[in-house]
């Protein structure tokens, strides 16, 4: 069954176990609708400026580690999608996660963004500043937020 409603779905992942349920939901929706999944990982370069690196090459080493993590995370989504018969395109971006997810989605005709969240409330949420919450507030594209566990 192909749907005109969902043709392109973004699944945002950070590679953690917390995003696993969101990945499963996103792949299932893609399978049911015949959509293409864009698995996105954002290397958060906005946090680099707040951490002093004393050693030469420290930034580059940190960047490479995060980029490698990102490739592994989107590859895991691709593997899961292929097992379900869903086409998955791997996308590793860099910048501020909220901005990059929204910009990619709005410029690539995305019909749905699927993201995971820890479901934190109160002071935890206030201090951490949820990427999912910021995407929900700012995106013109519909967002599905899936709580882990």
Place of tokens 């995971």: 116
Neighbours of 36 (CB within 10 A): 16
Task: Read off the tokens for 69.
Answer: 């993590």
Task: Read off the tokens for 20.
Answer: 């696993």
Tens digit of each residue's pLDDT (9 = 90 or more) over 7-23: 999 999 998 888 899 99
Q: Which CATH architecture has domain 8-147?
A: 3-Layer(aba) Sandwich (3.40)
User: For position 128, what pLDDT does the model report?
Assistant: 47
Q: Give the H/E segment covering residue 134.
A: helix 131-138
pTM of the model: 0.87
Q: Where are the domains of the chain?
A: 8-147
- pLDDT (tens digit, 0 to 9) for every residue of the chain, 149 residues total? 566 789 999 999 998 888 899 999 999 999 999 999 999 999 988 766 655 655 556 778 888 999 999 999 999 999 999 999 999 999 999 999 999 999 999 999 999 999 998 655 554 544 445 888 899 999 999 999 998 76
User: For position 127, what pLDDT does the model report?
Assistant: 43
For 12, what's the count of Cα atoms within 13 Å in the CB-facing half-sphere? 28
User: For position 60, what pLDDT does the model report?
Assistant: 81
Place of tokens 């958060």: 44
- In order, the DSSP letters of 65-88 are HHHHHHHHHHHHHHHHHHHTT--E
User: For position 58, what pLDDT does the model report?
Assistant: 73
């Amino acid at each position: 069954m192909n749907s005109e409603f969902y043709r392109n779905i973004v699944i945002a992942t950070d590679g953690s176990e917390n995003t696993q349920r969101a990945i499963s939901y996103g792949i299932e929706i893609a399978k049911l609708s015949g959509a293409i999944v864009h698995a996105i990982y954002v290397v958060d370069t906005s946090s680099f400026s707040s951490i002093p690196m004393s050693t030469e090459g420290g930034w580059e080493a940190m960047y490479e580690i995060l980029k490698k993590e990102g490739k592994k995370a989107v590859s895991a989504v691709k593997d899961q999608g292929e097992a379900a018969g869903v086409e998955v395109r791997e996308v590793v971006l860099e910048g501020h996660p909220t901005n990059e997810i929204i910009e990619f989605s709005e410029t690539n005709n995305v019909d749905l963004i699927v993201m995971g969240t820890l479901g934190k409330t109160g002071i935890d949420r206030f201090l951490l500043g949820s990427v999912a919450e910021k995407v929900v507030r700012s995106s013109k594209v519909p967002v599905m937020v899936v709580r882990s566990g």
